[in-house]
Amino acid sequence: MDFSVIGDNLSYFLLGAYPDGPLGGAALTLLLSLLSGLISAVLGLVLGIALVLLDGKVRWLLLGVLGFLRAIPVVMLIFWSYFLLPILLKVDVPALATVVCALSLIGGAYLAHSVHAGISSLPPGQWAAGKALGLSTWQVLRLIILPQALPMMLPSFLNQWITLIKDTSLAYVIGVGELSFVATQVSNRVMVHPTEIFLFVGLLYFVFCSSLDLIANRWVKPGAKTR
Amino acid sequence: MFGELLGPKYLHWLFDGFVLTLILSLLTCLVATGLGFLLCLARISPSRLWSWPARAYLALFRNTPLLVQLFFWYFGVTAMLPEGLVMWLNQPRSLALGLFDIEWPSFEFIAGFWGLMLYTAAFIAEEFRAGVSSVRLEQRAAGLALGFTPAQVWRYIVFPQAVRTALGPLLGQYMNALKNSSLTMAIGLAELSYASRQVETETFKTFQAFGFATLLYVASIALIEVIGQGLARSKWYKQGVL
Amino acid sequence: MKKLTALTALTLAVLSGLAHADRLDDIKKSGVLRVASFDSNPPFGFVDAKSKQIEGLDVDYAKAIADKLGVKLQLQPTNPANRVPLLVANKVDLVLANFTITPERAEQVNFSIPYFASGQQFIVKKGTLTSPQELNQWRVGVDKGTVNEGVLREKFPGAKVVAYDDTPFAFTALRNGNVQAITQDGPKLIGLLANVPDKDKYEVPPFTISNDLIGVGIPKGEERLTEVVNQTLTDLEAQGKAQGIYDTWFGPTTKTPLTRLYKIGDKS
């Protein structure tokens, strides 16, 4: 084991070629996951509520789309949107936008089901009671259902966000210079230290994901007590 | 470039890869569900002797990318093993069982299965835990007040509801396991994504090769989804008989 | 509705018009030449430790072509598997990434005249390989998405092929004993050994199983662009600049000294 290779390339691992070139490395990983995390949370909430409120054909259509997004491996979705869209529609999607879109769509599809499951796990009497008090559907949802359902579903949200941070590494298929990608570049140049480099990369991901875990746990606890 | 489809030889490669993907994911899901359930029990155990090791396991395995973990099991661990053992593990051999010869799984398969299984189990444990925490504490108190033993409270009150809440996310984790199995190609396991790469290398029909692989992934995951919807609609599920 | 259709038709006409315009004119108009190169394949294309930019033999040729066209060079890192899709999907104008010329690839893309030649060789632990035929029983590591994999299967059908994402991983597998040999282009293997601390434990047995010519990948049907690239390569050889580029990466004073056996324009 020889960890000097980490020290020698530290700024490349953390920032990529920045400031002489585009931002990359761990900073890009964080940026990508932050953006897609936000978009997928909003998407998941909206679509999850739609699953609860809609019925009939529209709901089946939505289920179909969500099913497809959950079914396709992330790598494949990124690959297809990057290479196939330009050929089919003659639209050129930049690599970074492709990654954010693909990750948000897939994350949103998973979260939609979690939100739906959380809402459905509440007894139907909650809806009836809300309606009996003269509240509209939206008011019941906002004032009664969501405050109970969301804390319950937080573990699923966290699972999904943590998955998202790690999934940004799949951006390598289209040459986006995030953490795993720059690590591979360095590993290929020095040739003999893949173990050291990937242990270090694993550690970085561990720090990112665990701190998210810690912050989130602290944030969940007060809510759990009021139940 | 979309004109020609793939020759039979290449379809055969893709099919072989698909079978390996299915075997790997099925084995992973079965074992990981068992391990995940035990981990969940350990994690929510009141005794720190159980809950702390479980916490450490969950944190470590959930918070690092699967790819890095696979590299660790395949490249890292073999570097620490004695040379003779590595050679023994890598020798092809088969078990003669009467009429059938069962081929000993390659070292790539063992490492891939091991890594994917430990990773998936961590996520399954968390889904079980979310399911258990969705059952209100009052319900347990009510069960005890009705004269149930704590074991009965678990069996008749907590467990059926927890499994019902966890079922959707659990199926989601099975789908993830199927998709994640594609990462084992990084350690040389010849599964579906590997096969599509291989076909691409030989034929340069990139879109056909990857398109076919995508189709197979989507179809098998759609199957899990259909099974899940079927379960959710079954009487068995609605009445909570579990 | 009618308006919309007319608009769509117009858009399509404009778009297909753009798509059919000559790529050489597009490059000159935009002032940028987009080239896909390896970022992980020293000394052909790799990220330099100091400059953090992609450098290497392929990149030097790309720079020469961009200079000839009088435009700026923009590099896009790629892996072996993405080279054909990048060209087909119009994400880059040229591929200079150790791209072996094969008839199958030539159906998908245009190729320039060759600018480099190499042969496929093996690395094994010293003294373990006594005759090439032994490879037929061995576990052999290769890189995914390369021609080497197919050649290996064809020449040694009995070998158990294990494919890894990159050469360093294949080499680690060799060190650990997961495979008994790895195969790649000779110059790349020599470049690899030059970086290994315990290089005296390994050897490159002196036989090659293929003779590969490396060319520039160009979008299918772009004949004028192909012509300019060919002319540039021929000029570089005539002016001695091709030799200069070779010496930068494989000359006697480098870590990977290698005699230059192939010159641009040679018949192979």
CB C180 within 8 Å of CB C186: no
For an interface test with B, give the residue of A206, A213, A215 to mutate (most B CBs within 10 A).
A206
Are C158 and C198 part of one and the same domain? yes
* 91-130 of A, contacting C, C-beta below 8 A: 92
Are C219 and C161 part of one and the same domain? no
Chain C nearest-CA residue for A23: C52
Tell me the residues of A at the B interface, defined by beta carbons under 8 Å apart. Answer: 67-68, 70-76, 79-80, 83-84, 110, 113-114, 116-118, 121, 152-153, 155-156, 159, 162-163, 166, 169, 180, 194-195, 198-199, 201-202, 205-206, 208-210, 213, 224, 227
pLDDT at A218 over 80: no
Report chain B (242 residues): mean pLDDT per 10 consecutive residues. Answer: 70 92 96 96 93 94 88 82 79 60 78 96 93 88 91 88 85 90 89 86 78 91 86 72 51
Least confident residue range of A69-78, B127-136, C107-116: A69-78
Q: Domain for residue C143, yes or no? A: yes
Query: What ipTM does this complex have?
Result: 0.76
Number of structural domains (chain C) is: 2
Q: Domain for residue B1, yes or no? A: no
- Which of chain B's residues have a Cβ under 8 Å away from the Cβ of C147? 201
Are C134 and C186 part of one and the same domain? yes
Alpha carbon distances (Å) from A29 to A14, A34, A156:
9, 9, 21
Are C189 and C56 part of one and the same domain? no
Q: Domain for residue B2, yes or no? A: no
Q: What's the CA gap between B1 and B204, in Å, rounded?
A: 10
Chain B to chain C, count of Cβ pairs less than 8 Å apart? Answer: 73
Chain A to chain C, count of Cβ pairs less than 8 Å apart? Answer: 86
Alpha carbon distances (Å) from B116 to B72, B110, B120, C173:
12, 10, 6, 20
CATH number of B120's domain: 1.10.3720.10
Tell me, what's the pLDDT at B238? 67
List, in order, residues 6 or more apart from B98 with CB less than 8 Å away: none
Number of structural domains (chain B) is: 1
Dump strand ranges (E) for chain C: 32-38, 40-41, 45-47, 54-55, 72-78, 94-95, 109-111, 116-118, 120-125, 139-143, 160-164, 181-185, 202-203, 212-214, 217-219
Alpha carbon distances (Å) from C103 to A164, B200, C89, C213:
41, 14, 20, 12
Dump strand ranges (E) for C90-203: 94-95, 109-111, 116-118, 120-125, 139-143, 160-164, 181-185, 202-203
Tell me, what's the pLDDT at A171? 84
Are C125 and C243 part of one and the same domain? no
Q: Domain for residue C76, yes or no? A: yes
* Residue C93 to chain A, least CA–CA distance (Å): 14
- Residue C99 lies in domain: 22-117+213-250
Are C56 and C83 part of one and the same domain? yes
> Whole-angstrom distance between the N-terminal and C-terminal Cα of chain C?
61
* Residue B202 to chain C, least CA–CA distance (Å): 7
Q: Which residue has the higher pLDDT, A223 or A83?
A: A83
Contact A175 C53 (CB under 8 A): no
DSSP B153: I
Are C113 and C217 part of one and the same domain? yes
Least confident residue range of A127-136, A144-153, B98-107: B98-107
Q: Which residue has the higher pLDDT, A72 or B91?
A: A72
* Tens digits of residue pLDDT in C62-111: 999 999 999 999 999 988 878 888 998 889 999 999 999 988 889 889 99
Q: Which residue has the higher pLDDT, C19 or A181?
A: A181
Chain B nearest-CA residue for A122: B134
Tell me, what's the pLDDT at A221? 57
> Whole-angstrom distance between the N-terminal and C-terminal Cα of chain B?
53
Of C88, C105, C139, nearest to B90 by CB-CB distance is C139
Are C107 and C129 part of one and the same domain? no
Tell me, what's the pLDDT at C3? 46
Angle at C134 between CA C129 and CA C138, to 5 degrees: 95
- Which of chain B's residues have a Cβ under 8 Å away from the Cβ of C169? 71, 75, 186
Confidence band of A227 (pLDDT split at 50, 70, 90)? very low
* 104-143 of C, contacting A, C-beta below 8 A: none
Q: Domain for residue B21, yes or no? A: yes
- Residue B230 lies in domain: 8-238
Contact A206 B60 (CB under 8 A): yes
Average pLDDT, rounded, for chain A: 86
Chain A contact for C201 (CB, 8 A cutoff): no
Q: What's the CA gap between B204 and C150, in Å, rounded?
A: 12
Are C51 and C174 part of one and the same domain? no
Tell me, what's the pLDDT at C16? 47
Region C204-232 average pLDDT: 93
Tell me, what's the pLDDT at A27? 95
Q: Domain for residue C5, yes or no? A: no
Are C28 and C92 part of one and the same domain? yes
Tell me, what's the pLDDT at B116? 96
Chain A nearest-CA residue for C37: A175
Most confident of A73-77, C129-133, C191-195: C129-133
* Residue C191 to chain B, least CA–CA distance (Å): 22
User: Could you give the domains of chain A?
Assistant: 4-226 (1.10.3720.10)
Q: Which residue has the higher pLDDT, A21 or B39?
A: B39
Are C97 and C131 part of one and the same domain? no
CATH number of C199's domain: 3.40.190.10
Average pLDDT, rounded, for chain C: 87
Are C102 and C129 part of one and the same domain? no
Tell me which residue of A104, A119, A100, A102 sits closest to A49, measured CA to CA.
A119
